[in-house]
Amino acid sequence: MTPPSAADAIRRRNRRMLLALFLLFFGGMLVAGLLRFSGWRPEGSKNRGEMLQPYGDLRGYVPTLARGGAYRWNDEPRIWRIAAIPRDCDGARADPCTRLLADLDKVWRLMGKDADRVHILWAGAVPRGLVLPGEVRVLRADDGLRAGLVRWDDAGGDAAWLLDPNGFVVLRYAPGFDPGDLRTDLARLLKIN
């Protein structure tokens, strides 16, 4: 047997280097593909609310303001909406309604400079004696609005929905949701729009 020459040693080293680069490049893509198709997503890219599939579509629906007149989706472009349809805000149900309205107002205030790009749509009765913040638009709750808001009659309590500027209902927040989750999702969406 002849001893390996210096040229053979260099050739073997170059082959190992090429194989290592190949594994590094394609191995990373393979791992990323496996993670993607297994359903794993980084924590920072997950929605906190329930992504609706298919989206609710309220583009053809024109809500009526409680004081009269129409609330149109495209009158103010780039406005995101938070919608709530509280069921019964009189008597024993006044406290949950007041708490929901306070949570929505808190989310709106925490939006800071972007707060003017968010409307709160309250479809239903307002708790007695409560002064509404200026960002709240009180709508008449009717079948057209209920049809676009997925599971509006959930037995667990009052939910909230996030609507995009065109009138698509994109996220639902289950009854008893954490207002911080709504604020996190809304802040992300306002950055990209």
Q: Tell me the pLDDT tens digit for each residue of 86-137.
A: 877 776 667 888 888 889 999 999 998 988 899 999 988 887 777 787 888 9
Residue 190 pLDDT > 80, yes or no? yes
Q: Which of 76-90, 118-132, 147-161, 167-181 has the highest mean pLDDT?
A: 167-181
State the pLDDT at residue 56: 84
Higher-confidence residue of 152 and 62: namely 62
Q: Whole-structure pTM over 0.95, yes or no? A: no
Pairing of strands 160-163, 168-173: antiparallel
Which contiguous run of DSSP H or E holds residue 145? helix 143-148
State the pLDDT at residue 167: 86
* Amino acid letter, 26: F
State the pLDDT at residue 2: 59
Task: Residue 84: name the closest of 45, 132, 48, 129 by CA.
Answer: 132
Order the strands of the 80-84 sheet from edge to edge: 50-57, 168-173, 160-163, 80-84, 118-123, 136-139
User: What's the pLDDT band for 19 if we cut at 50, 70, 90?
Assistant: very high
**What backbone phi and psi angles, to 5 degrees, belong to 149?**
-95, 105
Tokens matching residue 139? 């709508």
State the pLDDT at residue 45: 57
**What backbone phi and psi angles, to 5 degrees, belong to 81?**
-125, 140
Give CA–CA dist 3/13, Å, rounded. Answer: 16
